[in-house]
A and B are shown apart, each in its own frame.
Chain A
Amino acid sequence: MVLDTVMYGDEKQNRRKARIRFSLVLTMLILFGIFVVIPFYWMILTAFKTEAQVLTSPPILWLNPVNWQFSNFATAMDTAPFLRYMANTVLVSSISTVGTVITTVFAAFAFARLNFNGRDFLFMILISTMMIPGEIFVITNFLTVVELGWIQNQTYMNAILAMTLPFMTSIFYIFFLRQSFRQIPDELYYAAKVDGTTDLKYLFKIMVPIALPTIITITILNAMGTWNAYIWPRLVTQQQEFRLVSNGLRDAFSNIAGRILYNEQMAAALLVTFPLLVVFLLLKKYIIRGVSRSGIKG
C-alpha cells in the first residue's frame, strides 16, 4: 500500500501498534490453523499406532517415527480391497471427467459463440434447473439405470457405465465455461473467420487454449467430486469390488461387530485421503484459483 510510508503522530508508537496487531492476527490464524489441521494429524497419528497405543487413556499425542506401525496399512487392505476401490475411483473419475469436459466444451461454445433460435430461452431453462436438489433426479436415474439393465447381474462394464454416464455433463460447468468463453473478444472470432477458419478449428485452436485455466478447474472439481461420491455409487453398485473409495471405506468399518479397530480404520482413511492431498499440493495453484473463481459466479 502506497500510504504505508506515510505516518502520522508518533512513529514509534505506530510501529509498536502495528506489531501488536500483527501478532494478534498471527495468533488467531495459528489457532484456527490448528483447528483445521487437528483431524488430519489425528488421522495420521492413529494410523501409525499399535492397538495398545490406540487404547491408551489419556491418548498418546506424539509418536516417534521409529515406532510407527506400518503394518496397519497392510491389515487395512486385508479388511477391504482398497487398492481396487482406488483403481475404480480413478477409472470412474477419468471417464466422467473426460466426458464432462467434451460435452461441456461443445455446449459452452454453442451458448457463447453461436447464434441460434431459442438460445437464451434454453440457457434460462438450464440455469433454472440448477436450483433443484439432485435427490429429485436420483430417484428416476436409479430407475433408468435399472431399466438399462445395468444393475441386474451387473458386470464391471455396467457398473462403470452406471457410475459415469449420468455425470458426463454438468449445467454448472457449461455455465462456468461459457463465462470464460464470452470473455474472449469477438474480434478474435472475426479475424479467424476472415482467414477461413472453421468453427470447430476455432474452438479447439483458439478458444480452448485461451480458456484452459477454466477447463483445468473443471477437471479438478469433477475429479474431486468423484473421489467424494458416496450416495450414487452405493445405489448402483451391486458387488463389493465395483465400489468406490468412499463406499468401501464406510462399509469396511460399519459392519464389524464389537470393537472398532481405530488404527486400521484411520490407516484406511489415510490411504484414501493421501492421494488427494498429494494431488492438491502438486496442483495447489490451479485448485485455489479455480475454486475461488467458481465461487465468484462467473
Chain B
Amino acid sequence: MLEDKSNVKAWFYLAPALFLLTIFIFYPIFNALFLVFLRDYNYLQGTWEGFTLFENFLYVFRNQNFTQALTNTMIITFVSVPISVIIALLISVWLNSVLKLRGFFQTIFFLPYVTNAIAIGMAFAFLFNQNYGLINTMLGWVGLNPVNWVGLGATWGNAMFSLLVYVVWASLAFKIMVFLSGLQNIDKQYYDAARVDSTKRYRIFRRITIPLLSPMIFYITITSFIGAFKAYTQVIGMFGVRLGPPGNDKSLITIVALVYDALDRSGVPGALSEAAATAIVLFLITLVFTLINMQVSKNRVHYSGGGK
C-alpha cells in the first residue's frame, strides 16, 4: 500500500545506475583522494614509497607551466563569462521583443550549440590567419594593419584574444536559449502594470526584467564559471595539442591541460598522483569561486515569481 516501503524493489530499480556510478564516479573520487597522498606511485607495478601529505601538491605548484595555466584559466573564466552573459542577456531581450523573425534568429543563435568544438576551433584558427583570414581582411577595411593572431610566433596576447573570441562565441547559444525561455515565462502582467505606470523601457529592463530573471542569471553564471574553469577542448580545437601558436607552444595551457599532461606520463612514478593533485586543486578553485559567487548573489537574487 501507499506508505509501505519498497526497499528491495527500489534497489532493484537503482541497481544499474548505482553499479555504474559506484565504479565510475564514487570509487574514482575516493581513489583520487588516496592517490594524492601516495609518494611515487607506480601503477604499472602497483607500488609506492609510503605516504605524503603535500608532496604531490608541491609537484603541481612547481610544474613550470602551472603559473601560466592558472593565469590562462583565470583570464578565460573572468573575461569570457561576464562578456558572454551580458551579450546573451541583451540578445535574448532583443529576441523576445521582436515577433517577426524570432524563429529565424533563434535558429541562427542556437547553431553554435550543435557543432563540434574541434571543427569550429579550426575554423576560428583560419579566420584569424594572418594572411588569408577574414579577421585581418576586415581590419584592413577600416585601415588597420594585419595582426599575427595565431600564426608562427604569435604573441600570447594575440593568441589569447583569438581564443577568447572563440570561447565567447561558443558559449552564447546555451545562455541565449535559457534566458529567452526565462523571459517568456515572465508574466506579461508585470509589463502591462509597468506600462500603465508609464515606466520607461530602460527602467522596465532594470527593475522588472533583470530581477525576475535573476535566479536564472545566477544559475547560468555559476554553471558557466564552473565550466570555464575547465577550459581545454577549445584550446585544442584552435591550437591543437601544442596548446599555443606555433613557436609559442603551451602558452595557452590550462589547468585541465595539466591534468591530462600528467595523465599522458602515467607510466612515470608519481605522475598519476600529480594528475590527481591537479584535479583536486582545480576542484578547490572552482569551489571557492562558486561559494564567493553564491555569497555575492545572495542579496541580489529574487526567488519569487518570474522564471521558475
Which positions in A face B, CB cutoff 8 Å? 1-3, 8, 21-22, 25-26, 28-29, 32-33, 35-40, 42-43, 46, 54-59, 61, 102-104, 106-107, 109-110, 114-117, 119, 122, 126, 129, 131-144, 146, 165-166, 168-169, 171, 174, 190, 199, 224, 227-228, 230-231, 235, 245-246, 249-250, 253-254, 262, 265-266, 268-270, 272-273, 276-277, 279-281, 284, 287-289, 291-293, 295-297
Q: Which residue of B lies closest to A117 (CB)?
A: B7
| B47 interface residue (CB < 8 Å to A) | no
Query: Which residues 236-254 of B have a CB within 8 angstroms of A?
Result: 236-237, 240-242
Contact B279 A139 (CB under 8 A): yes
Residues of A near B192 (CB, < 8 A) are 1-3
Subset of 9 A-B contacts with CB under 8 Å: A25-B97, A43-B120, A103-B17, A119-B10, A140-B31, A165-B20, A230-B233, A279-B114, A288-B110
Q: Which residue of A lies closest to B170 (CB)?
A: A39
Interface residue from A1, A134, A228, A273 paired with B191 (Cβ < 8 Å) = A1
Interchain CA distance A222-B31 in the complex, whole Å: 27
Contact B177 A3 (CB under 8 A): no
Q: Given A8-B198, A165-B20, A245-B116, are A235 and B123 neighbors across the interface (CB < 8 Å)?
A: no
Interchain CA distance A245-B117 in the complex, whole Å: 11
Residues of A near B180 (CB, < 8 A) are 292
Residues of A near B240 (CB, < 8 A) are 250, 253-254
Over the window 12-26 of chain B, the binary record of Cβ atoms lying under 8 Å from chain A Cβ atoms (1 yes, 0 no) is 011111101101111
Contact A37 B279 (CB under 8 A): no
Residues of B near A250 (CB, < 8 A) are 118, 236-237, 240-241
Q: Which residue of A lies closest to B15 (CB)?
A: A106
Contact B119 A272 (CB under 8 A): yes
Ranked nearest first, the 9 interchain pairs of A and B with the lowest CB-CB distance are: A295-B178, A140-B28, A292-B181, A116-B10, A269-B119, A107-B17, A110-B13, A137-B28, A280-B114
Contact A231 B91 (CB under 8 A): no
Interchain CA distance A140-B188 in the complex, whole Å: 51
| B156 interface residue (CB < 8 Å to A) | no
Contact A230 B236 (CB under 8 A): yes
| B137 interface residue (CB < 8 Å to A) | yes
Interchain CA distance A228-B201 in the complex, whole Å: 41
Contact A129 B29 (CB under 8 A): yes
Contact A106 B17 (CB under 8 A): yes
Interface residue from B13, B87, B259 paired with A107 (Cβ < 8 Å) = B13
For the A-B complex with A1-B191, A250-B240, A277-B111 known, give 7 more contacts whose Cβ atoms are closer than 8 Å. Answer: A59-B132, A135-B282, A136-B279, A143-B31, A169-B20, A249-B122, A293-B181
Contact A135 B259 (CB under 8 A): yes
Which positions in B face A, CB cutoff 8 Å? 2-7, 9-11, 13-18, 20-21, 23-29, 31-32, 35, 43, 87, 90-91, 94-95, 97-98, 101, 105-120, 122-124, 126-127, 129, 131-134, 137, 140, 169, 172-174, 177-178, 180-182, 188, 191-192, 195-196, 198, 201, 216, 219-220, 223, 226, 229-230, 232-233, 236-237, 240-242, 256, 259-260, 263, 266, 272, 275-276, 278-280, 282-283, 286-287, 290, 307-308
Q: Which residue of B lies closest to A104 (CB)?
A: B17
Contact A273 B120 (CB under 8 A): yes
Residues of A near B5 (CB, < 8 A) are 115-117
Contact A36 B95 (CB under 8 A): no
Interface residue from B98, B122, B196 paired with A269 (Cβ < 8 Å) = B122
Q: Given A33-B105, A231-B260, A296-B182, are A1 and B28 neighbors across the interface (CB < 8 Å)?
A: no
Q: Given A103-B17, A171-B25, A288-B106, are A246 and B31 neighbors across the interface (CB < 8 Å)?
A: no
Interface residue from B91, B112, B181, B195 paired with A29 (Cβ < 8 Å) = B91
Contact A235 B263 (CB under 8 A): yes
Interchain CA distance A133-B282 in the complex, whole Å: 8
Residues of A near B275 (CB, < 8 A) are 135, 139
Contact B282 A137 (CB under 8 A): no
Interchain CA distance A268-B196 in the complex, whole Å: 56
B241 CB to closest chain A CB, in angstroms? 6
Contact B119 A59 (CB under 8 A): no
Interchain CA distance A114-B134 in the complex, whole Å: 58
Contact A169 B16 (CB under 8 A): yes
Q: Which residue of B lies closest to A173 (CB)?
A: B17
Interface residue from B9, B126, B198, B272 paired with A42 (Cβ < 8 Å) = B126
Interface centre among A21, A39, A114, A169 (most CB of B within 10 A): A39
Interchain CA distance A107-B17 in the complex, whole Å: 6
Interchain CA distance A223-B4 in the complex, whole Å: 38
Interface residue from A36, A133, A230 paired with B169 (Cβ < 8 Å) = A36
Q: Which residue of A lies closest to B115 (CB)?
A: A273
Contact A139 B24 (CB under 8 A): no
Interface centre among B116, B122, B188 (most CB of A within 10 A): B116
Interface residue from A28, A110, A133, A288 paired with B14 (Cβ < 8 Å) = A110
Q: Which residue of A lies closest to B99 (CB)?
A: A22
Q: Given A36-B169, A141-B28, are A292 and B9 neighbors across the interface (CB < 8 Å)?
A: no
Q: Given A107-B14, A129-B29, A133-B230, are A190 and B118 neighbors across the interface (CB < 8 Å)?
A: no
A201 CB to closest chain B CB, in angstroms? 13
Contact B181 A40 (CB under 8 A): no
Residues of B near A144 (CB, < 8 A) are 23-24, 27-28
Contact B126 A296 (CB under 8 A): no
Interface residue from B2, B272, B283 paired with A136 (Cβ < 8 Å) = B283
